[in-house]
Every structure is written in structure tokens, then in C-alpha cells.
Structure 1
């Protein structure tokens, strides 16, 4: 048999398995670097943009009147400051001037009423126009000298204080840098300027008007709401001051600002035989007139009624409401006074009569 050669292949060495490459992890995107805040604009930036000196910027933005600067230049400086968002640094300005421009007005603890609210709003606007910053401070839990110490922390240049401020409080404010301490109330406080508001005059002119109209048994409304006794007490005293030698009698009439309270007061008015009522102010007068009308009491035939403050609503009633118009200085007048006292911190304490009162007679008396 033929021999057949069979070639047996050599065994090949086993191949090492190929390593599978792990795909690289995607790089985490780096956190975006924070955008640096834009630099705070300075007066130098304003000066460059407006094309003026830094001194001119200071004069314009501080409303300095001692240096004459043309109106176009003033507008250019103000426009540049607005475009850059530049605001003067109050603390730095205070350091340069030696005092702040803060006028502190403690928030009234009693309802001021529309007359005083209008006055204080006008005063704030006028002071702002003179480059003062008005700060209303609500120190409800603090009174007198304790409140003065809290106010002094703000380093105000002037303070319009309530009448319960004491001599020690005036001294604390003075030592903290207040150039003018001014009290509002019926009497002076030693060491402070005084804006005197004597509400006895309101009651006196109301009572005199009623006596002139032949009224001799006069009731005086005393609101029971907290705090209003600061005004009601002096007005009652003023009514009594008007009566010596007239033979008239005065009766106190407590009244809450509620329809039910007014309705309950009507029988007492009839029982006392009152021929007139001074109702504290127009709001209480309108409340009482409604109750008298509902009870069939003729106004003014049986009982005359007069209020105070001369509110528009009183003119819309039928009969129209007689009232006492209280005249106070305007906001700009008071702002000019505050500014003068700040500029002359060594001036002797001044007193200014704030309140004048006159009757506006209408149909209800």
C-alpha cells in the first residue's frame, strides 16, 4: 500500500485574550468661574463721564448752594451718576461733614389723624429736597429718655421728638451729635426747641361759637380709644376756659368710635337736656349725628353739633357740619426751620406757635 504522509500542524500557543480598553470617562465640565462683580462706581467715574472735576460732582450731588454751578452742568453730573448707578456713600459723607443728614421722626404712638398725616408727609418731602434723609423710628415700647438713647444710636442730625422727652434725653441726643432737638407738644422741654401745639384753643373757639349761638348746656365728646386723651383732655379744658361768666354748663360724654356706642349716648344727651355738643373732631361728630338723626333728634333745632379738622365729608352731610379748622405751618416752612436750626447748632432754644384754630360755621350749629 502506498504510504501517505499526513502533516500534522504544530499546536499553536494559546493567545492571551485581548484586554478590552475601558472607554475613558468623560471629563466633567469645569464649573464656570464666578463672574467678578462689577466695581462699585465712584465719584471719579462720574467726574470722567460728565467731564467735570470730582469737586463739582460733590457740589452737585450734595446740593451745595455755596458754589454756583450752571444748570446744564448739574444735569450732566446727575445723568452720569444715574447711568453709572452711583450713589454717594452716606457714612463717608458723614465723616467728612462731621455729622449725618438724618432727621429722625419717632412714629406717633397715637392716631395722628388726616391733618397731621398730611403735614408730616409734606415735611418729609420738603426735607428730602434739602438733602436730608428722614427716618421714622417706631419705638412703641420705649418712652422719654429711654427712647432718646435708642434714637441716639442712629446719630441723627435733628430729632422731632414727642412731648414726653425729658431734659436728660435732650442732653443724650446733643452729645450723640444732634444739632437740633425739636419737641412737638403743648409745652417746652428745657434745652430743646419747641413747636407748640396747644389744643385748648380748639375747644375754646368751638365753645365760644356755641355760646354765641345761644347754647348753654354743652356736651363734650371724649373718645375712649387709647391715646386720644392727649388731644381730648386739652380740648375739654379749652371748652371750660370759654365759659366763665356765661352761665353755661359743660358735660363730659365718653364715646367709642362705634355706631352702638353713639346710639347708647343719645338717651343721655336727651336726659341732660344738652342743646349742643362739641364732638372732639369731625369723625366723631358724623358718628354722633347719624345716631341723633336715627333717634329723631333735630339738628340744630334740638341739639347743635360741631366737630374739628374740617374734613371734606363734613361738607357733604345734611345738615352740613360746622367745624373748627386747624391751621398748621406747611411742610416746606417747617423744613426750612429745621434746616436753619441744624445750620446754627449753638442758637438759644426757640419756641414757635404751631396751631391756630378758627370756626367754620355751617348748618349743624
Structure 2
């Protein structure tokens, strides 16, 4: 097994220089040619720094733990998480995704704490409580952040208010004269964290207008969509806001197959503004979501890790804009 001493001999530098370069230390000035020579030597020998040994020397790890979401992440959310992981890696953090399905609250926090992460970014609501935050901090986590619709005491809050998404969609449909709006709620378990607030948002937009809002369960399945489309005339709806573009496209195709005119009989609106929605005919109206850049969020995590003594901060991350197209 190659060692740092082997890398130092091949590169013609000291072991300390090897450590500075491979650990991305910024406190010591090292020329770019030297850095390149060290990296090339490490690559030639197949040398990889020992993360556990580095953690022992530093007194903490460089691991950012990201528990996997309890629901399937859509394309937009997946892109955001990928960008965040890339940006954290550029800041010399090791990102570890933890499979936490079936665990929540204190049980999940204890499992995460066993890995001694320097930071934890917990997605969604209900996965972490105040006691869990305390468990993580006592185990050495310098930054505990939650990404979801609600704050958790003791943790930094990265709020994504899904009610705004529903309100934006509802306001657009109402402005077009629609007065009977169906709201598609995914039948699969775990989506309530996002779908319930979006329903609340549509209801808030309709309040005082005389319009009715009807929640409708729908599994992401062609047969289920066909069955809903078959009874659509009996529902008396002139508009529908689907949980996201994928559910909107599924239902719109089924409605068209059943003879429902889009948008004449029913206006259809989704959320996420996926490219494929623009390729449909009619083009899908949607809610465009403004997500923060992964780079900015990674820099925030790094700042909290370096200065963990401050009071928990609250940041509102999600912006919503209606994008009217042919389907409404």
C-alpha cells in the first residue's frame, strides 16, 4: 500500500507538503507546479489519503452526511442535490448519503451520529427533532441543517414553503376563469410533506372567490390515470393542478385519450417546469421553481462548520412563478 512518504519521494517534496496539497490546505502557500507534481505522483502510485487518520489529527471529520429523502426525488430536486454535492466536494468535504428509510426522529439521529459527521443536511419534515439535533451536536456535528417546510429547534433552517407553489398555480387557474379545480395528490406514501402544503396553497388562492377545490388521489400508473379520466365528466372540474409535471403529463394524456379537451374542457397545470412539458401538445403550463445554487448552499455549510457558535439561521430558498402555456 503506497504511503505519503512514497508520494513525497516521487514528487521530490516533504511529507508535510504532500499533506498540505492532498488535504487542500489553504493556510500554507504552495506553488501550482508543486501541487501538480504532488497530485501526479499520488495518481501514479495510487495513493489515497486515509480519511479516518485525517479526522483523528483534525479532531473532526470532513464528512457531510445527507440522509436520503423518504420520497423519490424529482428531476429538479435531484439536480439541486447533485450540484450541492459537487460544490461540497470542491470545498474538500466528503459527502455521504445515508439510507434512512424506516428510521425517523431520535433513532435516525443516533444512526447518523455513529458516523461522526462534521455536518448533517436532513431533508424533509419529520426526519429530525430537537432531541436528535442535540444528539448530533454532542457527537461532534458542527452544522445541523434541515431542508424542508418547517423549522426544527436548534438547527439551521433551509425553508422550502410548498404552499407558495400551490398558491401560484391556483392564482393562475383562477385568473383564467376556472372555478372548479382538482388538485392531484400522489397516492404513493411519503409525498404528503410536499403535496399537502401545495393543496393548502391552492385553497388559500381560492378563498373568497366562490371556487371549489377538490383533492384527487392518483398513483403514478397509466391504469390509475385512465380510471380517473373515465370518471372525469362526473367530477364537474374545469381545471386541475397536478403535484408536478410528471403527474400532470400522465393525467393529461389519459384525459385526452378519454375525449376530454385540453384546455377547452379542462385546464391542466403542473410544477417543476421540466423540458419535456414544453415538447407536449398542447404545451404544459407549469410552476417554475427557483432553487438556490448548490455552490451558495455549500458555502453556507462551510461557514457554519468554521464558525459553529452562532444562533441558528433561517433561509427561505424556494421561489415560484407561473409559466402559462397552451394547456391552460
Unaligned runs of 5+ in 2: none
Distance (Å, rounded) in 2 between the aligned partners of 1:261 and 1:79: 56
Q: 1:265 aligns with which of 194, 213, 228?
A: 228
Q: 2:56 aligns with which of 46, 71, 95?
A: 95
Task: Name the counterpart of 1:323.
Answer: 286
Q: 2:209 aligns with which of 246, 259, 264?
A: 246
Q: 2:45 aligns with which of 84, 93, 98?
A: 84
Give the secondary-structure state (helix, strand or coil) at the position aligned to 1:242.
helix
Give the secondary-structure state (helix, strand or coil) at the position aligned to 2:220.
coil
1:361 Cα shift?
0.9
1:41-66 Cα offsets, whole Å, 9 max, x none, are: 33233222222222221211111122
Distance (Å, rounded) in 2 between the aligned partners of 1:210 and 1:326: 17
Q: 1:340 aligns with which of 295, 303, 312?
A: 303
Structure 1 or 2, whichever has the larger Rg, is: 1
Q: Which has the higher helix share?
A: 2
How many residue pairs match? The answer is: 326
Q: 1:58 aligns with which of 19, 25, 33?
A: 19
Query: Relative to structure 2, which stretch is displaced further, 173-182 or 160-169?
Result: 160-169
Q: 1:111 aligns with which of 37, 54, 72?
A: 72
Distance (Å, rounded) in 2 between the aligned partners of 1:359 and 1:191: 35
Distance (Å, rounded) in 2 between the aligned partners of 1:88 and 1:206: 50
The 5 Å alignment of 1:278-357 reads 278-357=241-320
Moved over 6 A (4+): none
Distance (Å, rounded) in 1 between the aligned partners of 2:299 and 2:188: 35
Give the secondary-structure state (helix, strand or coil) at the position aligned to 1:325.
strand
| 1:41 aligned onto 2:5 | no
1:260 Cα shift?
2.1
Unaligned runs of 5+ in 1: 1-39
1:325 Cα shift?
1.1
Task: Name the counterpart of 2:113.
Answer: 152
Distance (Å, rounded) in 2 between the aligned partners of 1:359 and 1:276: 15
| 1:133 aligned onto 2:94 | yes
| 1:67 aligned onto 2:28 | yes
What is the TM-score when the length of structure 2 is the normalising length?
0.96
1:185 Cα shift?
1.0
Distance (Å, rounded) in 1 between the aligned partners of 2:117 and 2:194: 28
Distance (Å, rounded) in 2 between the aligned partners of 1:84 and 1:254: 57
Distance (Å, rounded) in 1 between the aligned partners of 2:79 and 2:264: 35
1:267 Cα shift?
4.5
Q: 2:85 aligns with which of 100, 120, 124?
A: 124
1:203 Cα shift?
0.4
1:212 Cα shift?
0.9
Give the alignment's Cα RMSD to 1 decimal. 1.3
Distance (Å, rounded) in 2 between the aligned partners of 1:176 and 1:170: 10
Distance (Å, rounded) in 2 between the aligned partners of 1:47 and 1:111: 46
1:286-343 Cα offsets, whole Å, 9 max, x none, are: 1111121112211111110000111122111110000111121122222111111111
